[in-house]
Amino acid sequence: MQTHEIRERFTNHFVKAGHTEVPSASLILDDPTLLFVNAGMVPFKPYFLGQQTPPFENGLATSIQKCVRTLDIEEVGITTRHNTFFQMAGNFSFGQYFKEGAIKHAWSLLTGDRADGGFGLDPERLWVTVYTDDDEAAGIWENVVGVPSERIQRMGMEDNFWSMGVPGPCGPCSEIYYDRGPEYGKEGGPIADDNRYMEIWNLVFMESIRGAGDKKGGFEILGELPNKNIDTGLGVERVACILQGVDNVYETDLLRPVIDVAAELTGTKYDAGNPADDVRFRVIADHSRTAMMIILDGVTPSNEGRGYILRRLLRRIIRSARLLGATGEVMEPLMNTIMDTMTPSFPEIAENRERILRVALAEERAFSRTLESGTHRFDEAAGALKAAGGTTISGGQAFELHDTYGFPIDLTLEMAREAGLDVDMAAFDAAMQEQRDRAKADNKAKKMGNRDDSLYREWVDTYPTEFVGYDQLTHDANVIGLVRDGEKVTEVNAGDEVEVILDVTPMYAEAGGQMADRGRILVGDTVLNVNDVQKIGKKLWVHKATVQNGGLDLGTTVTAEVDGAWRHGARQAHTATHLIHAALRQVLGPTAVQAGSLNKPGYLRFDFNYTDQLSEAQLEEIATITNQAVDADFAVNTIETSLEEAKAMGAMALFGENYGDQVRVVEIGGPFSIELCGGTHVGHSSQIGPVAVLGESSVGSGARRIEAYSGMESFRYFSKEAALASGLATELKTPSEQLPERIAQLTERLRAAEKEIENLHRRQLLGQTADLAAKAETVGEYSLVAVHLPDGVNTGDLRTMANDVRGKLNDRAAVVVLASADGGKAAFAIAATPQAVDAGIKAGELVKAFGQHVDGKGGGKPDLAQGSGANPAGIDAGLAALRQGLQG
């Protein structure tokens, strides 16, 4: 049974039982505790917590949620049951059926006849576990379902009590296991061997709220949830493993094709008796799928957050392939294969295929350059180590290769072995652990738990806000809620910072990149300045305001008034964003997809997924197309329709957004631009005014940003630029149209003058070297030039002079030491003739010794080295110490 059929059977089973089918949410949700959705229940958290009423008929839902867990990336492939990406099929009951209903639903699907839509598993091979003291669940399994008591086992909080790992909903659970047979391990049920007995379904009886705690079980139960709920999770990949008759999740129809392609690319066989190679194959298969799904949801590689996780996954793929023998690029065939296997379950992959490939290939090429630089750095370190007679690369050097150069430790180990060297892994591991501890501390600081929106639940459920701001900027409203300092109040007074909830509002709440409206709430002499508007539960508008004059009571009828100038500027910027997006896709093609935006009066920024820097010609073409659309006076139409109809119209959606059944489509100029958007817009494109594209920049690997002004801000920008050009033209006595040529001429003349000054300066310095060489003194076995030069000679010039003095003394064993105070610091350089080097002099070591006297450091080769220090007052002491050292 193929994986997509398993998904279909699961969904059909619960839809027939009255559950609402809920599409998978994006892997990226607005949750401060999570980088990625890591469990099927995450999108339903507000309903479990009682903050919002479930919008599902009968209070029942089912979903197959895509999930990513990345806490133990290094462990992937070592076991054959865990993946970083997985599909969690679940059924959810919000205050409806509880333990008995969940158990019956699961059992009937698992053991039901395949002809009737079930999975057809042998009930004699199913075992269950329950929480230690959950007699109710154990009784249902034995007395209602008929599972023999010897196949019902009890486990503690570590195994049979579920939470997300952060404060939030939790409860005891009952897990269902499948006995794979004696060839997989010993008898005795899940307690005896969880390899033979594979967990396939977890039924969570969600009834409590947990507090903070570092470990599973190390937390306090804070209280009961408003309702007893059901949250279940069936591992799609594990069921596929059983129904397809394969040993592990890497052998299923989704991942085995990737392993086969990797074997072709590397010339190494999988499952050929080399455990280390098998782990690498599994890493490639697992990470290819996870990376592809993360890119699908709009993430691009970077050095922080989700982007860092993606970069790490992609680089582990490339690293593993190289260790298996790959010599060229591997990402394209691997990504194509995983997209082929996953598209039946996720059809949206097809339309994003080119973009996914572009991001993955760009990272592969960037990492190839990283490997080159890391290899060069390793060769330098290894060469210096061998020259000094050492045999072990320090843990600090290995960590620097890993952390600074992105060079994987296993490649460092392999290259060290090839060079006949060891690596101090104890020190490396210590440095890695220190880094992990810092990361965990930072992550813990960011885990703020769940925002408690239960305060607003009554309004969300009973009095959702009516938004009339698309058509009106002023509207009367009733004050149905006042919140001050996190508490409901009945009145507020002058100077109070307050949240005002109205039954109807014309003010736009921040969403879709558009900043919230500014405005006022008025009644009599009372004035509240609204400086922000936010949504809660997508239904309630919360006006954050300051009471400027008077006071306000609950139940008062007021007038809500949008700042017209603010709204006008915001509408111009938001509509201009749509035009720039359309122009961008005309110039760069369909793979340039929006990845985020910000619109406020007069200004916009637009982030998009693209790997290459835009040329000046491309940027100019985008600006031209955008302003041509403004000049065309396109009508801006809005259409309320179903999500399916909007997609059929070709409307583009944003990554990471979850849309309802009814959506708003904004159409500009017919096919020119059509997007799903809930923002406010001008009526015709000409009302935007001129659009000034300021430039583009990188915001991470595979992501670019365009910034622009609109309306009067564009006019001001163009006016300022024109005034600047006019002033330059007057100053240079050149017509404006000839300014570029004139400035180029002046720039070239300036460069020539700077070069001439540099040459003159060099000649002046070198003119002193003959006198310095003539002052050479005999110290021990060497000729020594040790001079404290006047202030202001920098390290580069000292190096040049020392090198020239050495050349004048190349008939003997000579050492040249020159130092100067430059910019409040000590600069110094040391050179040694070949005869001195042969006699044992090492300029690099002398520089380090000198540096101790000036609170500095330096380095270089045996014949030439340089350094700097913070204490120029120690120069003379350094020269004296060096002279004494040469005397022996």
Residues annotated as binding site for Zn(2+)?
Answer: 574, 578, 677, 681
Name beta bridge partners: 816: 785, 831
Dist CA 352 CA 359 (whole Å): 11
For residues 197 and 179, the answer to whether their CB atoms sit within 8 Å is: yes
CA of residue 391 relative to chain centroid, distance:
39
Name beta bridge partners: 593: 609
Nearest Cα neighbor of 286 from 69, 27, 89, 609 is 69
Q: Please report the DSSP string for 475-493 in residue order.
A: EEEEEEEEEETTEE-SEEE
Task: Say which residue the tokens 């809920």 belong to.
Answer: 22
Helix H, strand E, coil C: the string for 157-177 is HHHHEEECCCCEEEEEEEEEE
Instruction: Give the pairing of strands 504-505 and 540-549.
Output: unpaired
Q: 10 Å Cβ neighbour count for 529?
A: 15
Dist CA 348 CA 341 (whole Å): 13
Say if residue 586 is exposed, middle or buried (CB neighbours under 10 Å; 0-12, 13-18, 19+).
Answer: middle
List of residues 6+ apart from 59 with CB closer than 8 A: 93, 94, 95, 96
Q: 10 Å Cβ neighbour count for 327?
A: 10
Residue numbers belonging to the annotated binding site = 574, 578, 677, 681
For residues 599 and 580, the answer to whether their CB atoms sit within 8 Å is: no
Instruction: Give the pairing of strands 60-68 and 20-22.
Output: parallel
Supply the DSSP symbol for 759: H
CA of residue 460 relative to chain centroid, distance:
32
Start-to-end CA distance of the chain, whole Å, equals 84
Which letter, b or e, does each residue of 397-420 get, where b requires 16 or more Cβ atoms within 10 Å of its Cβ? Answer: bbbbbbeebbbbbebbbebbeebe
**Residue 774: both structure tokens together:** 């003539």
Dist CA 635 CA 398 (whole Å): 61
Instruction: Give the pairing of strands 782-788 and 814-822.
Output: parallel
For residues 652 and 594, the answer to whether their CB atoms sit within 8 Å is: yes
Q: C-alpha angle 137/8/178, rounded to 5°?
A: 40
